[in-house]
Chain A
Amino acid sequence: GAGVSQSPRYKVTKRGQDVALRCDPISGHVSLYWYRQALGQGPEFLTYFNYEAQQDKSGLPNDRFSAERPEGSISTLTIQRTEQRDSAMYRCASSAADNEQFFGPGTRLTVL
């Protein structure tokens, strides 16, 4: 079956622009997670959802970052007024059983 998909795979934007990153989880997976990964580091937790409810957003670095999952399936991570320090790989994962997570290929964001 299809795995977790993310789009776009690459995004280059200018400082100050807003970006929206999309995640399409594995069908039927209850939980969806967003992570950010810098080069040479492990994924860093941002936020996660059970169904459409945002359960934990403690990892979002500031109020420019937000996420939604309105129908309990596809999720969007939005970064407003992007800054160069936002450049990173953004990874989405989903899970059925709340422990093992299935990761997507990521969106590489570059802010110029």
Chain B
Amino acid sequence: DQQVKQNSPSLSVQEGRISILNCDYTNSMFDYFLWYKKYPAEGPTFLISISSIKDKNEDGRFTVFLNKSAKHLSLHIVPSQPGDSAVYFCAAKYTNAGKSTFGDGTTLTVKP
């Protein structure tokens, strides 16, 4: 059973609009969450993270929201740009433990 789920395989938005990518997890012991972005033929690159002691973390155009009671997190990109087109992976882990558990990714396409 998948402990981290990204239920939308793909998302298409218009340039300048908001992109919202969603992620659900089942293991309530996870206490650190990360988003990675992946371009074709490259490895995933870290984008933004959030600890379970917070409910929001913002970095420029990227904001991650965490709802612990719902075991749900989301990544907001505002405004979306064509260069944001990539696969976005949600990951969850225990703080200070090595392995991350990844979702299957959402492919974001931002249309000019």
Contact = CB atoms under 8 A, between A and B. Distances in A.
Interface of A: 4, 31, 33, 35, 40-45, 48, 50, 55-56, 59, 91, 93, 98-106
A72 to B, nearest CB: 15
B97 to A, nearest CB: 8
Contacts of A93: 43
Contacts of B46: 100-102
Interface of B: 4, 6, 9, 32, 34, 36, 41-46, 49, 89, 91, 93, 95-105
Nearest to A9: B41
Given A42-B104, A100-B49, A33 B43 contact: no
Given A4-B43, A42-B89, A59 B99 contact: yes
A24 to B, nearest CB: 13
Contacts of B98: 31, 33, 48, 50, 55-56, 98
Contacts, number: 64
Contacts of A35: 102
A106 B43 contact: yes
A106 to B, nearest CB: 6
Given A41-B104, A103-B43, A105-B42, A33 B99 contact: yes
Contacts of B36: 103
B49 A104 contact: no
Contacts of A42: 4, 6, 89, 91, 102-105
Nearest to B95: A99
